[in-house]
């Protein structure tokens, strides 16, 4: 496993950072992707290298095909071909549908869904050549149950599930797995701005009785990236404390 290379998009903070660190602990060399948060990405790199791992930061807007192509080229030249792709980059632009601007729809769909298509397309060819690969998409429990004010986000995250199930059928016989993780209410920058009263109401709906952590999700990423998960294909694993039951 020490020879394998992981690329984690949106790895500057939250779930992406936790996934990058956990993969490094398991022996992967890690490319830490970021689009805007350079300081946060370099902090992720430092956390990995200070613990004895190998990592470097690479800037790219994952919704831009040319930038993604250059990113994969850079990773291959620096660490080697990508064996594990974790698509964690995502944004929200919440609004009721009748008030939602076209830009809010397009930016959410491009960053969350189109980026998966662009990155997976770059990753698949060398994985097929190597007869081994792991593609892991970070969707959301919102894709499974919907959410008021998040038609754009829910559509993008649900689209990721359909994309990955189709991809799993395309590459399953070539030593590659394609699976989805659907996190629930996770303690990240995206949720930290919510009012405490609203957080309390969310927790009441979670059978496990607590908010999830990025590490809860990273543990599943690490497992799906391993040889132990070689017979798990095209699945959606909810890491949500039971909220989607």
Catalytic residues: 153
Question: For residues 74 and 237, what is the distance between their CA atoms, to the nearest angstrom?
Answer: 31
| Backbone Cα Rg of the chain | 17
Q: Is 59 left (phi over 0), alpha (psi -120 to 50) or beta?
A: beta
Which structure tokens are listed for 70?
Answer: 């250059």
Q: Could you tell me which of 137, 141, 157 has the C-alpha nearest to residue 235? A: 137
Which structure tokens are listed for 129?
Answer: 């050549």
**Contact present, 243 and 141 (Cβ < 8 Å):** yes
Exposed / middle / buried, residue 65 (Cβ in 10 Å: 0-12, 13-18, 19+): middle
**Contact present, 233 and 177 (Cβ < 8 Å):** yes
Question: For residues 191 and 76, what is the distance between their CA atoms, to the nearest angstrom?
Answer: 34
At residue 230's C-alpha, the angle toward residues 225 and 236, to 5°, is 70
> How many CA within 13 A on the CB side of residue 210?
4
Q: Could you tell me which of 162, 156, 40, 159 has the C-alpha nearest to residue 107? A: 156
């Amino acid at each position: 496993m020490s020879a394998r290379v992981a690329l984690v998009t949106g790895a500057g903070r939250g779930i992406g950072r936790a996934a990058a660190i956990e993969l490094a602990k398991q022996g992967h060399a890690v490319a830490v992707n970021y689009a805007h948060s350079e300081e946060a990405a370099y902090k992720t790199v430092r956390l990995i290298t200070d613990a004895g791992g190998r990592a470097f930061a690479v800037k790219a807007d994952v919704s831009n095909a040319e930038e993604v192509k250059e990113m994969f080229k850079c990773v291959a030249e620096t660490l080697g071909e990508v064996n594990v792709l974790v698509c964690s980059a995502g944004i929200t632009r919440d609004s009721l549908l009748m008030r939602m601007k076209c830009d809010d729809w397009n930016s959410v769909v491009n960053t969350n869904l189109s980026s998966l298509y662009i990155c997976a397309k770059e990753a698949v060819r060398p994985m097929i050549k190597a007869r081994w690969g792991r593609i892991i998409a970070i969707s959301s429990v919102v894709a499974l149950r919907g959410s008021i004010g998040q038609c754009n986000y829910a559509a993008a995250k649900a689209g990721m599930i359909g994309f990955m199930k189709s991809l799993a059928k395309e590459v399953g016989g070539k030593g590659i797995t394609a699976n989805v993780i659907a996190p629930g209410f996770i303690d990240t920058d995206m949720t930290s701005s919510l009012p405490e009263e609203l957080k309390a109401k969310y927790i009441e709906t979670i059978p496990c009785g607590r908010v999830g952590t990025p590490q809860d999700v990273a543990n599943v990423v690490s497992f799906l990236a391993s040889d132990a998960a070689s017979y798990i294909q095209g699945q959606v694993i909810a890491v949500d404390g039971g909220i989607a039951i």
